[in-house]
């Protein structure tokens, strides 16, 4: 973990705070569009994508609480708050991993891909670069302030970007290769190992030096 003066760390915390507010706002929009488009197209994958956004919205709320405590208490920021936020973030990663597995298994069991949706495709395409930028920015700040909770939240942004790519792949396959109904379910399972690994590290706390 990098060593910073109080003023530099305060600026980093404020930057993380802005990133989390942006995340919360984006996830509200993403959940509304994905669930609305999913209901209109009767697409379970798009509805599930919206549910993923709601999980990430909860994660953003946890980080906003954790960062707000440090902004208010400064040098007196208790390590117990970071540990608690990290544990909650880890639990959300486990929930997200379970959601991916159940959704993928359900899609494979039904032998159905997702139905095509133009709003869903536009949302997924736009989400990929946004989540890539958010994840990189959060990872950078998380490393600088030594926050496993923020790192876990960054992994959720990575997952959102990855699942957006899976949604795009599934929608394109449904449009041009309807026989490839399994592609989105199979591809989404690849992210589960990363989710479980990061969840375990966030739950255990600081790695041994």
Sign of CA dihedral 118, 133, 205, 66: negative
**Could you tell me the two tokens for 99?**
């959601």
- 3-class SS at 140? helix
Kindly state the average pLDDT of the residues 129-146.
Answer: 93
Domains parsed from the chain with CATH numbers: 6-204 (1.20.1510)
0.85 surpassed by pTM: no
The C-alpha atoms of residue 202 and residue 205 are separated, in whole angstroms, by 5
Q: How far apart are CA 186 and CA 145, in angstroms?
A: 36
pLDDT of 207 over the 80 cut? no
108 Cβ neighbours under 8 A, 6+ residues apart: 182, 185, 186
Q: What percent of the chain has pLDDT over 70?
A: 85
In percent, the amount of the chain with pLDDT more than 90 equals 23
On the question of pLDDT at 162 being above 80, the answer is yes
What pLDDT shows up at residue 208?
36
Provide the sign of the torsion angle of the four alpha carbons 153, 165, 97, 56, taken in this order: positive
Per-residue pLDDT tens over the stretch 64-109: 998 888 888 776 667 788 888 888 888 888 888 888 788 778 777 8
> What does each C-alpha distance from 139 to 64, 103, 133, 146, 162 come to in angstroms?
16, 27, 10, 10, 16
pLDDT band at 133 (very low <50, low <70, confident <90, very high): very high
Mean predicted lDDT score pLDDT of the chain: 82
């Amino acid at each position: 973990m990098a060593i910073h003066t109080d003023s530099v760390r305060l600026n980093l915390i404020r930057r993380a705070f802005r990133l989390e507010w942006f995340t919360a706002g984006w996830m509200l929009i993403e959940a509304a569009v994905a669930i609305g488009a999913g209901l209109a197209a009767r697409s379970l994958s798009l509805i599930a994508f919206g549910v993923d956004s709601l999980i990430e919205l909860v994660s953003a709320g946890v980080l906003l609480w954790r960062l707000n405590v440090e902004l208010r208490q400064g040098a007196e920021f208790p390590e117990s708050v970071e540990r608690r936020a990290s544990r909650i973030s880890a639990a959300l990663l486990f929930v997200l991993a379970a959601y991916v597995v159940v959704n993928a298994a359900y899609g494979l069991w039904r032998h159905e891909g997702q139905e095509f949706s133009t709003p869903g495709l536009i949302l997924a395409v736009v989400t990929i670069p946004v989540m890539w930028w958010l994840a990189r920015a959060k990872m950078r700040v998380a490393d600088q302030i030594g926050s496993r909770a923020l790192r876990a939240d960054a992994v959720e942004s990575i997952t959102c970007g990855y699942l957006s790519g899976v949604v795009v792949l599934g929608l394109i396959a449904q449009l041009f290769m309807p026989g490839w109904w399994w592609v989105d379910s199979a591809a989404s399972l690849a992210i589960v190992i990363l989710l479980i690994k990061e969840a375990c590290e966030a739950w255990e706390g600081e790695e041994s030096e």
